[in-house]
Amino acid sequence: MQLKKYPYKNNIKKVVEKYISLKDMQSLLKPKGILISATKRVDIANLTKDYYLSQNDFQELKQLLDSPNNFKKIGRIILPANESEDFKESLSGLNGRVLDPTDNTKINIGIVDDNKMTVYLQYEEQRPGLVELLETKKKNIVIDIENSEELCNVNYSISSASDYKKVKELLNYIQQDSSFTFKELLLSDLKTENRTELFTNFFVFFFDEWKITKITQIKKKKDTSYTSEELSVSVSESEDLAMQTENQLMQEVILDGINSALLSGENLIENSFINKVLTQGFYFSMSFIRFENKNNSDFLDFVIEFKTRPERLETKIIESGEFVTDENQDIVEIKRIFSEEKQNQIIYEFNDILGEIFMGFSQPQSIEVSTQ
Amino acid sequence: MSEEQQYQGDRWTIQSKSILEGLGWMQKGDSNFDIQCKKKTKHGISENRNRIQPHGIDLLFQYKDPYAKDKKNIIVESKHRKWAGISTSTIQSFVTQVFNTIECSNISQELSNIDCHGVNTGLVMIWCNEPNQFDNEVFNEYLEAINIPSRKNPVIIYIASNYHILRWCSVIDSKNRLLAGNESDFKIYYPSDNFSGGRSTAVREDYATLPVLFSKYIFAKSSRTVVFHGNTQLLNVNHIFYFFEPSHSELLFLYSCLSQIQYEDAHILVFHFYGNVSTYRVEIEDFKKKIKEELKISGSSLEIEIKYMDVFSDIPESYAQQEG
């Protein structure tokens, strides 16, 4: 969301000094013809505060702030490519419309070209506050609609739990006049073993620009429809008695009462406990993945998460930066927030891959667009 | 270097000087002079070859920093190239050259002798002598790839290309037209930041500093003489020279800045737009109406004027004439 009010000079100085890396600020100013050599952020902050910049420039600057808000979190809904024109037409018809006066939900159409449309969905959220009894916060969801050959991807930004509900409300509103085959990636549409394969196939995917260097967190959940009889049958047919006993021990003693577990560590995918657990009706529902760029020193931590009720796909970047050599010749990580455009490009690419793997296992059901 | 190249290079140095003087800058010393290299090993051509030559300085300027209140000395290097001769590597070589010159200028006795103590700022004026071929987006891509050496003491080097230089010519032209008309006392305005916890007070100066010249807006103030029913009246005029796409959203953003610096405190507020902004004609008009409405509600009698700066396709010939 763009700044509406010109920032105070002193605030610009504070922001540059405290929340933007030296390198990011230098890179931001370079194409403007301003090359600054400095080793301290305070120096660059003192020099930067005197420029009068445009709203667009401040938007670039805002995206560099070291703030969790600047990491992108994306949800995705898909529909067949042949429905995309009608869908965009329906959205265009809502431009400037207040969809819900109770929370001032308003839709504005942004960039439009042949293959892309950006929609801004704004609303107000009220929450108990500290200074005021009830604080009103303006929220903004950015929805990018992009066409591929077969699909139309509706990628929406998520900054709070209510954003998903708002996107669903919008789709529900549109469905009143036209019928669209909206689909989303739900784990419940896959068999238990395919749910984990969705992750493991992604882990071994050959990415053009990135490589996975480690899996640092995995969340496992138990399939509630899984029954021990299934295990008994499969085991009795293929395993010896010792193995059967081991599985029973695992199921009855170690995993007794566990519905989900979050595991952190290195090389989790090769961990024997995790592999064993997967044979006991558990599946992956979330993973933290470290990516490193093949062509430069960039890195990022990417999270694939299937949220509960329903377990729908959400992906996000939670850390990014680059490796540099410090004065002791040690390689260290320097945190740097990638531009919004770059984050979107990465997440959309990874989501495309996840989508392809997912579709290989199952055609998902149409989503219900009720707001309940 | 051919005689023609030498001539064109010298001519561009004169033009650069004229442009900067047109922006109110004061030259120090003479044009094209040398200072001794004090870091012969560091500034050498290679590890084994120390620097032999002194550092050449095309132009040296000085102005008082309106906020820091100290004198700012600026090394200006003027470069004249065909479009094909401009690349990341050529710009990098200019930057390295100016960077080394600044390092030695900062401790130069020659410069101290002419009251220039300490130098940390450079300006490279790169003129593409095929203005029709100049591509600002490509030029900016070249700039993005420039490597800036890291130094404990901050050094800042500004790169002005055709993009900036032609805009500066338009500002000078607008100022001259205003002064040739019924306006006087034209000054660049440096807003205060007192109200946001800063310490700088508002200042008016004859010159535009580098941060101003590399900003998206330039603020200026002048007085306009009007005769009404035989009585002469002096009106306060606030100017905004605007160098960005004047979309409705950007203009409202600028207006929030004007309110912040109390820039509505005048008789007339003039927006000077640059270039062909016909695409934004409707948005500009709507913005004007919106402000007028707000001013009416607040009881202000401020008048809004919209003007368009003349756009040059080349450096005006008059800038090549050396005075004296």
Domain boundaries, chain B: 3-160, 167-308
Nearest to B161 among A4, A33, A44 (CB): A33
Chain B residues near residue A43 by CB distance under 8 angstroms: 154
Q: Do B196 and A30 touch (CB under 8 A)?
A: no
The average pLDDT across B214-227 equals: 95
Q: Global pTM?
A: 0.73
Half-sphere exposure of A170 (CA within 13 A, CB side): 31
Q: Do B197 and A8 touch (CB under 8 A)?
A: yes
Question: What's the pLDDT score for residue A234?
Answer: 40
CA distance A302 to chain B (A): 27
Q: What's chain B's average pLDDT? A: 90
Confidence of residue B195 (pLDDT cuts 50, 70, 90): low
Q: Do B214 and A51 touch (CB under 8 A)?
A: yes
Nearest residue of chain B to residue A58 (CA atoms) = B253
HEC letters along chain A: CCCCCCCCHHHHHHHHHHHCCHHHHHHHHHHHCEEEECCCHHHHHHHHCCCCCCHHHHHHHHHCCCCHHHCCEEEEEEEEHHHHHHHHHHHHHCCCCEEECCCCEEEEEEEECCCEEEEEEEEEEEEECCCCCEEEEEEEEEEEEEECCCEEEEEEECCCCHHHHHHHHHHHHHHCCCCCCCEECEHHHCCHHHHHHHHHHHHCCCCCCEEEEEEEEEEEEECCCCCHHHHHHHHHHHCCHHHHHHHHHHHHHHCCCCCEEEEECCCHHHCHHHHHHHHHCEEEEEEEEEEEECCCCEEEEEEEEEECCCCEEEEEEEEEEEEEECCCCCEEEEECCCCHHHHHHHHHHHHHHHHHHHHHHCCCCECCCCCC
The average pLDDT across B244-257 equals: 93
CATH classification for the domain delimited by B3-160, as one of 2.40.50, 3.40.1350, 3.30.1360, 3.30.67: 3.40.1350
The average pLDDT across A111-120 equals: 83
pLDDT at A16 over 80: yes
pLDDT at A289 over 60: yes
Q: Do B214 and A34 touch (CB under 8 A)?
A: yes
The average pLDDT across A165-176 equals: 90
Residue type, B162: N
State what percent of residues in chain A have pLDDT above 90: 28
The average pLDDT across A72-78 equals: 91
Chain A residues near residue B200 by CB distance under 8 angstroms: 9
Top residue of A3, A37, A108 to mutate, by most chain B CBs within 10 Å, is: A37
Nearest to A31 among B140, B157, B200 (CB): B140
User: Rounded to 10 degrees, what is the CA torsion of B194, B196, B197, B200?
Assistant: -30
Distances (CA, A) of A58 to A1, A9, A40: 11, 12, 21
- The distance of Cα A333 from the centroid of its chain, to the nearest Å, equals 22
Q: Do A6 and B197 touch (CB under 8 A)?
A: no
Confidence of residue B253 (pLDDT cuts 50, 70, 90): very high
Q: Do A33 and B214 touch (CB under 8 A)?
A: yes
Chain B residues near residue A51 by CB distance under 8 angstroms: 211, 214-215
Residues 136-155 of B with CB under 8 A from A: 140-141, 143-144, 146, 148-152, 154-155
Question: What's the pLDDT score for residue A144?
Answer: 93
Question: What's the pLDDT score for residue B141?
Answer: 94
Confidence of residue B148 (pLDDT cuts 50, 70, 90): confident
pLDDT digits (tens, 9 = 90+) for B8-34: 888 999 999 999 999 999 999 998 888
Give the DSSP per-residue string, B42-93: TTSSBTTB---S-EEESEEEEEE-TTT-SEEEEEEEEEEE-GGG--HHHHHH
Residue type, B252: L
Question: What's the pLDDT score for residue A371?
Answer: 46
Chain B residues near residue A53 by CB distance under 8 angstroms: 215-216
Nearest residue of chain B to residue A34 (CA atoms) = B158
Given CB atoms, is B211 within the 8 Å cutoff of chain A?
A: yes
Question: What's the pLDDT score for residue A222?
Answer: 76
Question: What's the pLDDT score for residue A233?
Answer: 36
Given CB atoms, is B215 within the 8 Å cutoff of chain A?
A: yes
CA distance B183 to chain A (A): 25
pLDDT digits (tens, 9 = 90+) for A351-364: 999 988 988 886 54
Residues 2-61 of B with CB under 8 A from A: none
Peptide bond into A310 cis (omega under 30): yes
CA distance A156 to B259: 35
Nearest residue of chain A to residue B98 (CA atoms) = A35
Lowest mean pLDDT among A130-134, B300-304, B310-314: A130-134
Chain B residues near residue A13 by CB distance under 8 angstroms: 198
Would you call B270 helix, strand, or coil by DSSP? strand
Question: What's the pLDDT score for residue A229?
Answer: 43
The average pLDDT across B178-197 equals: 87
Q: Do B146 and A30 touch (CB under 8 A)?
A: yes
Question: What's the pLDDT score for residue A245?
Answer: 59
Question: What's the pLDDT score for residue A230?
Answer: 42
Question: What's the pLDDT score for residue B27?
Answer: 94
Given CB atoms, is A206 within the 8 Å cutoff of chain B?
A: no
- Contact by Cβ (8 Å): A117, A145: yes
C-alpha dihedral sign at A158, A164, A168, A169: negative
Question: What's the pLDDT score for residue A63?
Answer: 80
**Cβ within 8 Å of residue B282, ≥6 positions away:** none
pLDDT at B217 over 80: yes
CA distance A221 to A202: 18
Of residues B220 and A239, which shows the higher confidence score? B220
Question: What's the pLDDT score for residue B42?
Answer: 80
pLDDT digits (tens, 9 = 90+) for A184-215: 888 888 888 888 888 888 988 999 999 999 88
Question: What's the pLDDT score for residue A116?
Answer: 86
Nearest to B211 among A11, A13, A51 (CB): A51
The average pLDDT across B93-102 equals: 93
CA distance B247 to B60: 38
Residue type, B32: N
Chain A residues near residue B140 by CB distance under 8 angstroms: 31
Q: Do A37 and B151 touch (CB under 8 A)?
A: yes
Within 10 Å of residue B136's Cβ, how many Cβ atoms?
12
pLDDT digits (tens, 9 = 90+) for A253-284: 555 665 666 666 666 666 666 666 666 667 88
- Total residues found in chain B within this entry: 324
Question: What's the pLDDT score for residue A277?
Answer: 63
Q: Do A8 and B211 touch (CB under 8 A)?
A: no
Q: Do B253 and A3 touch (CB under 8 A)?
A: yes
Given CB atoms, is A9 within the 8 Å cutoff of chain B?
A: yes
φ and ψ at residue A283, rounded to 5 degrees: -145, 160
pLDDT digits (tens, 9 = 90+) for B68-79: 778 999 999 999
Question: What's the pLDDT score for residue B138?
Answer: 96
- Helices B3-22, B162-180: axis angle to 10 degrees equals 50
Chain B residues near residue A10 by CB distance under 8 angstroms: 193, 196-198
Confidence of residue A349 (pLDDT cuts 50, 70, 90): very high
Distances (CA, A) of A309 to A164, B13, B197: 12, 70, 49
Pick left, alpha or beta for residue A247 (phi over 0 → left; psi -120 to 50 → alpha; otherwise beta): alpha
- Contact by Cβ (8 Å): B227, B214: no
Nearest to A33 among B99, B159, B193 (CB): B159
Q: What's chain A's average pLDDT? A: 82
Residues 69-88 of B with CB under 8 A from A: none
Question: What's the pLDDT score for residue A274?
Answer: 63
Top residue of A9, A34, A49 to mutate, by most chain B CBs within 10 Å, is: A9
Which tokens in the block code for residue A181?
A: 């085959």
- Helices A241-249, A228-238: axis angle to 10 degrees equals 160
Tell whether ipTM is more than 0.90: yes
Given CB atoms, is B308 within the 8 Å cutoff of chain A?
A: no
